[in-house]
Structure 1
Amino acid sequence: MNNTKAQKASDKQTWYLIDAKNQTLGRMSTYVAKLLRGKYEITYTPNINSQIYIIIINAKDIIVTGEKKYNKKYIKHSGKPGSLKIENFANLHKRIPTRIIEHSIKGMLPRNKLGRKLFKQISVYKNEQHPHIAQKPQTITINL
């Protein structure tokens, strides 16, 4: 007889604070996506939300390697004719540095209901100030 027990979603929220200063965009994003999914926990289940919330600060100080700063393009389209907007990394980084990290992490999450819920559990801020001090987040240093 099988004794496999299904994991249940927990109600306990865990908050983490990650400083993006001098971090490589892709390496930090993969770490955050895995942490958000709960892959570093013993009780990882792919279809369960692990209730992990992540705060990323200093988004303006993120770095990319190689020529991506000039060659990487961010494309958006509203669906109407003639509304295609193309922007490179350097311009978007000056204008909205938080969107670069959000875009990178969102691409690494599953494309379903769970992925949309997980994406709402990320907060990215351009400076060191954030309004989540009451949650007492644990600071994580990423040494990649």
Structure 2
Amino acid sequence: ADVGDHVIVINAEKGRGTGRKAEQKLYYRHTGYAGGIRSTSYGKLMADHPERILQKAVWGMLPHNTLGRSMFKKLRVYAGGEHRHEAQKPVSLDI
């Protein structure tokens, strides 16, 4: 199903969290094993993979069904200003 245009987000590393998110906000994941809950702080995730913070934020706003997964597949997030989609002639939107 056509769920809209592809979206490319660049410079995710320049994003900032307000307040004390770097120390207090935690992202959780589970390994699949008993007692396998793992957590990562916002600050560590921002230092290692800044694009994942934006991806997790967008995923949380989308519907958690087939339509939401189709929409999420059209999102591309890059930490720096360079991306590999120049051949598609993306249109820049200044926000």
**2:25 pairs with one of 72, 79, 85:** 72
> Which runs of 4 or more aligned residues in structure 1 lie more than 2 Å from their structure 2 counterparts after TM superposition?
none
Aligned to 2:75: 122
Cα distance between partner residues in 2 of 1:138 and 1:63:
24
What SS does the corresponding residue of 2:63 show, helix, strand or coil? coil
Partner residue in 2 for 1:61: 14
Indicate the SS of the match to 2:34: coil
- Note if 1:88 corresponds to 2:41: yes
Q: Counterpart amino acid of 2:14?
A: D
RMSD: 1.2
Measured in 1, the distance between the counterparts of 2:65 and 2:35 equals: 29
| Residue in structure 2 matched with residue 29 of structure 1 by the alignment | none
Q: Which has the higher contact order (CA 8 A, sep 6+)?
A: 2
Identity %: 38
* Number of aligned residues: 95
Compute the TM-score of the two structures, normalised by the length of structure 1.
Answer: 0.63
> What residue is the counterpart of 1:100 in the other structure?
53
Cα distance in 2, alignment partners of residues 101 and 108 from structure 1: 11
* Counterpart amino acid of residue 70 in structure 1: E
TM-score by length of 2: 0.93
2:40 partner SS: strand
Taking the aligned partners of 2:84 and 2:72, their CA distance within structure 1 comes to 18
Aligned amino acid, residue 32 of structure 2 = G
C-alpha distance in 1 between matches for 2:36 and 2:82: 35
